[in-house]
Structure 1
Amino acid sequence: MANGTALLFDLDGTLTDTDHLHLEAFRILLKDFDRAITPEHYKARIMGHPNDQIMREMFPGETPERRIALSDQKEQLFRDQLATLTPTPGVLKVLDWADAHGVPYAVVTNAPRANAEMMLHGLGLDRRMTELVIGDELERAKPDPLPYRTGLQRLGATAERALAFEDSLPGIRAASGAGIATYGIRTAHPDAALLSSGAVAAIDDFTDAGLWKRLEALL
């Protein structure tokens, strides 16, 4: 279908719920510093933000090189917990629908490429989600709109004919800032926060009846 349509998916918390694994990785990392982290802090200051920003805020007294090493250590702690992952309900049906109608799709994520590839493999989606936009590989990551604009460009799509799916507030701001109608997934945030960040609707998962009406309208 060459009419500019596309679906753009965040990964963590959107295609699968992995936030508890990230939180645990940070908890293990911070034990060496006699520090702790709460779920509330994770949701407010970490979830959806790029790693360099997270580490600058978390370790302001460390050198840039040390912060990179700590970031790499945290991501390895996260990957060590990964095995077979469970897709968010309805996402496989959405991908089947997209394939049947020739609608291209991509993952747009701030996760490091090693994480993203390992997660997609764990979900059994590595052969389907072949287009990966990695925020840290661009000049600017989410919440800047650049990753989503890059996704549109790579898929030959237009913002007006695309839909995005995000669970983090920085991610919603990025996608909506690119002019894309964005659905907020209720993984961690209440509806009010998702909508005030720019989501057109808040949904539990990809089985939502309103979402399916919007998908059919794309055709």
Structure 2
Amino acid sequence: MVPSKFKACLFDMDGTLLNTEDLYTEATSDLFKEFGKGPLTWDVKIKLQGLPGLEATKIIIDHYQLPITAEEFAKKAMEIQATKWHRANYLPGAFEILAHLKQNGIPIALGTSSNKLNFERKTNHLEGFTDFFGDHIVTGDDTRIPKGKGKPEPYIWYVCLGSLNEHRKSQNLEPIKPEECLVFEDGIPGVLSGLAADAHVIWVPHPEAHAYIGPVKEKLAGRKMQILNSLTEFPIERWV
């Protein structure tokens, strides 16, 4: 049974709250130009979601027939990405949702597959971003996540909720259960991760990804999930 109201919200970051997925795509397409290839398109990008970095890079190299090793490509890509993170910004509706939840005392946490260094590069210039989440920020290299158990495994959300519940315990409040949480995600691995955690998922795919998510959407029909075109569509006062 789906609760009429949810008690906590757990957020992915890249492509869900921030426009960094577009910056990843831009950086990869810039690198392609060195070889007269590209751009990176969503029919390819959809296949890369959730894969380990080098594995995803090998698919890119094979698809675009690039004369470079996966390690060389990854190094060049990271150098280009680092020049773009200062342009990371909120996606439509993201700031408003976070502000509403904070103002109304709804517990929130962040669970991102980005490592701590990239998280800081993407967010340090966004005044107040980390203040929304306080101590409840879990990055992909957090040692509380079992090794090799990132998304689509559920553990990142368990760590997020565990952090919130530790704080609640200090205030003599009852713990929140996974099924009482909303997980906000843009990517297929994150959606699967949220469902595996027994949370209800709000799936906000990238606008260009909609044409390629059909099979997954059909497979997940009937699960605890709702698909939105934008966070601006989220009826916040009805759900939390």
TM range (shorter): 0.7 to 0.9
TM superposition shift of 1:162:
0.8
Asked if 1:21 corresponds to 2:40, the answer is no
Once the two structures are TM-superposed, the CA of residue 32 in structure 1 deviates from its matched residue by 5.8
> Aligned residues, how many?
207
Q: Distance in 1 between matches of 2:234 and 2:113?
A: 29
Q: CA shift at 1:171, angstroms? A: 0.9
Q: Equivalent residue for 1:116?
A: 119
TM-score by length of 2: 0.72
Per the alignment, do residues 209 and 34 of structure 1 end up closer, same or farther by CA in structure 2, a change over 3 Å counting?
A: closer
The root-mean-square deviation of aligned C-alpha atoms, in Å, is 2.9
Does the aligned pair in 1 maintain the 2:31–2:77 contact within 8 Å? yes
Measured in 1, the distance between the counterparts of 2:218 and 2:112 equals 20
Matched letter for residue 132 of structure 2:
R
Measure how far apart 1:73 and its partner are: 3.9
Q: Which AA in structure 2 matches 1:126?
A: T
CA displacement 1:20-45 (0-9 Å, x = unmatched) = 22122223445566764631344322
Query: 2:130 matched to which residue of 1?
Result: 126
Matched, 1:179 2:183: no
Matched, 1:189 2:209: yes
Query: Counterpart of 1:153?
Result: 162
Secondary structure of the equivalent of 2:80?
Answer: helix
Task: Give the 3 Å change call, closer, same or farther, for CA 88–32 of structure 1 in structure 2.
Answer: closer
Percentage of pairs with the same residue: 22
- The one-letter code of the counterpart of 2:228 is I
Cα separation, 2, equivalents of 1:49 and 1:212: 35
Q: Report deviation, 1:186.
A: 3.2
Secondary structure of 1:128's counterpart equals helix
The aligned counterpart of 1:205 is 230
Q: Secondary structure at the match of 1:126?
A: helix
Q: Deviations over 1:151-177 (max 9, x none)?
A: 111211421111111111111011111
In the superposition, the TM-score normalised over structure 1's length comes to 0.78
1:196 CA displacement:
4.0
Stretches of structure 1 that go unaligned for 5 or more consecutive residues are 61-65
Q: Which residue of structure 2 aligns with residue 63 of structure 1?
A: none
Is 1:144 matched with 2:153?
yes
Q: Report the CA distance shift for 1:175/1:53 in structure 2 as closer, same or farther (over 3 A).
A: farther
The answer to whether 1:12 aligns with 2:14 is yes
Evaluate the alpha carbon distance shift between residue 7 and residue 73 of structure 1 in structure 2; reply closer, same or farther with a 3 A threshold. Answer: farther
Per the TM alignment, residue 110 of structure 1 is displaced from its structure 2 partner at its CA by 1.4
Give CA deviations for 1:45-77 in whole Å, capped at 9, x if unaligned.
Answer: 2234342442455569xxxxx856653542332
